[in-house]
């Protein structure tokens, strides 16, 4: 069964106990379950059954010709993902790292990172590397694709020795039909995973998914424009718009074709609707890319209530995956002064924490109110776990920002989630292999 991304994290075993478990397995072939986190234990058991060699120092590789063919086949995914990978690499900065894109079969397509990680003596896998669990055991790509959700693999939790200097965080990428299209993974040389990097990976994955939706819709639009009377093309476009609108949770349903409407008029109506949908998806992709970055803007008046609502619209799909209900509580109109990029990321991070604390079957209540005694706008996220998961009631988590009194706004109020005009870090492109 697929795991739910960002579920409550189990208590991590120490790196030392995991190293002991690995050394014992290498010498005896026995897996010591008491020394491993539950998802790592299950992955090690799968690797053991598959006969993976724990002493391997690197991944196996496709031939140069097969790699070239694969990259040509996956060019659409690579083109869409590359700007998001640039953002992630730029955000990690000078730290030794790599950002990796793989296909749905865990074959490396692109890797970005610092010079040492890509070309140094302990270089990371290159395009064409086979990273499935059948070959490499537990890792941030293969294991993520097996579980179907966000995965963290810390240092010695990697099954093969050659990967144990890295901490990997991976998340699957899904296509317009919800099928896994690939995997996005960040590997860093640090002993613990980063919650900030986890947030950025989620944003980048959703942005890539939005752009894959957009590619499919634009392809169908071109087909209908080429043959507006083609019944099959009209049906495909209609189904796509229905699915994409449902995916974006805007509630728009397309009715059956009305009697008396000719095919050309029907096609034009569908095209207008499809173009509107494409604009919505394009804006959503830009928002995700902004949230994945570390770019900062200027302080300005912001409608906190509407910013929270827009963010919840983005997170609705993630909440459905985690089986958590989002409940809007008090929504007092509150105007604050803030850097909207920074504020949006703060709200996003707290919302993800609240989803994790609520757990499957739970709910998160969101309140926005003005704290008049301190003149602050306050967005509060209260996790309400299902009775089966509730042990200790989680404390509410809040984000505050200086409030403005009515009429104090010196600039027009900002109502929407922000987008960057250009991808951050374009002045310092990441090194990469593709």
CA distance 314 to 311: 5
Whether the pLDDT of residue 207 is over 80: the answer is yes
Of the pLDDT bands very low, low, confident and very high (cuts 50, 70, 90), residue 433 is low
Q: What is the pLDDT of residues 253-296, one digit of tens each?
A: 343 344 344 544 555 565 566 666 667 777 777 788 788 877 88
Among residues 186, 203, 170, 164, which one has the least CA distance to residue 95? Answer: 186
CA distance 248 to 233: 22
- Residue-level pLDDT at 274: 63
Torsion of CA 424, 427, 428, 429, to 10 degrees: 80
Q: Which residues contact 50 (CB under 8 A, 6 or more apart)?
A: 133, 134, 137
Domain boundaries, the chain: 15-193, 211-290, 299-402
Q: Kind of pairing, strands 325-331 and 363-371?
A: parallel
CATH of the structural domain 299-402, one choice from 3.30.565.10, 3.20.20.10, 3.40.50.300, 3.40.640.10:
3.30.565.10
Name the architecture of domain 15-193: 2-Layer Sandwich (3.30)
Q: What is the pTM of this model?
A: 0.73
Q: Tell me which range, 32-41, 67-76, 409-418, is most confidently predicted by mean pLDDT.
A: 67-76
Q: Which helix (H) or strand (E) holds 285?
A: helix 263-292
CA distance 213 to 285: 10
């Amino acid at each position: 069964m697929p795991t739910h991304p960002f579920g409550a994290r189990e208590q991590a075993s120490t790196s030392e106990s995991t190293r002991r478990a690995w050394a014992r397995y290498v010498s005896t072939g026995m897996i010591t379950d008491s020394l491993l986190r539950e998802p790592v234990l299950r992955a090690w058991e799968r690797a053991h059954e598959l006969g993976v060699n724990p002493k391997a120092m690197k991944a196996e590789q496709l031939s140069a010709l097969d790699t070239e063919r694969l990259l040509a086949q996956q060019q659409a995914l690579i083109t869409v993902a590359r700007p998001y990978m640039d953002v992630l690499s730029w955000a990690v900065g000078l730290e030794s790292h790599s950002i990796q894109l793989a296909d749905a079969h865990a074959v490396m397509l692109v890797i970005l990172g610092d010079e040492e990680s890509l070309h140094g003596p302990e270089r990371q896998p290159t395009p064409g590397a086979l990273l499935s669990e059948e070959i490499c055991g537990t890792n941030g790509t293969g294991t993520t694709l097996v579980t179907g959700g966000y995965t963290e693999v810390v240092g010695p939790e990697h099954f093969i020795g050659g990967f144990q200097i890295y901490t990997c965080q991976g998340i699957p990428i899904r296509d317009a039909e919800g099928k896994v299209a690939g995997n996005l993974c960040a590997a860093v040389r640090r002993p613990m995973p980063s919650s900030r990097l986890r947030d950025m990976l989620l944003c980048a994955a959703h942005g890539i998914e939005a752009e894959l939706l957009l590619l499919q819709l634009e392809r169908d639009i071109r087909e209908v424009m080429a043959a507006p009377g083609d019944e099959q093309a009209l049906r495909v476009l209609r189904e796509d718009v229905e699915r994409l609108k449902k995916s974006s949770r805007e509630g728009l349903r397309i009715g059956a074709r009305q009697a008396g409407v000719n095919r050309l008029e029907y096609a034009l109506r569908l095209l207008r609707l499809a173009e509107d949908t494409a604009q919505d998806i394009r804006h959503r992709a830009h928002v995700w890319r902004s949230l994945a970055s570390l770019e900062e803007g200027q302080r300005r008046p912001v409608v906190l209530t509407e910013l929270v609502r827009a963010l919840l619209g983005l997170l609705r799909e993630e909440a459905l995956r985690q089986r958590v209900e989002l409940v809007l509580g008090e929504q007092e109109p509150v105007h604050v002064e803030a850097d909207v990029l920074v504020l949006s990321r703060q709200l996003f991070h707290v919302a993800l924490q609240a989803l994790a604390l609520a757990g499957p079957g739970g709910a998160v209540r969101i309140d926005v109110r003005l704290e008049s005694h301190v003149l602050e706008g306050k967005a509060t996220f209260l996790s309400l776990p299902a009775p089966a998961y509730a042990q200790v009631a989680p404390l509410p988590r809040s984000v505050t920002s200086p409030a403005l009194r009515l009429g104090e706004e010196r600039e027009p109020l900002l109502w929407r989630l922000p987008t960057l005009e250009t991808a951050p870090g374009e002045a310092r492109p990441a090194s990469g292999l593709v």
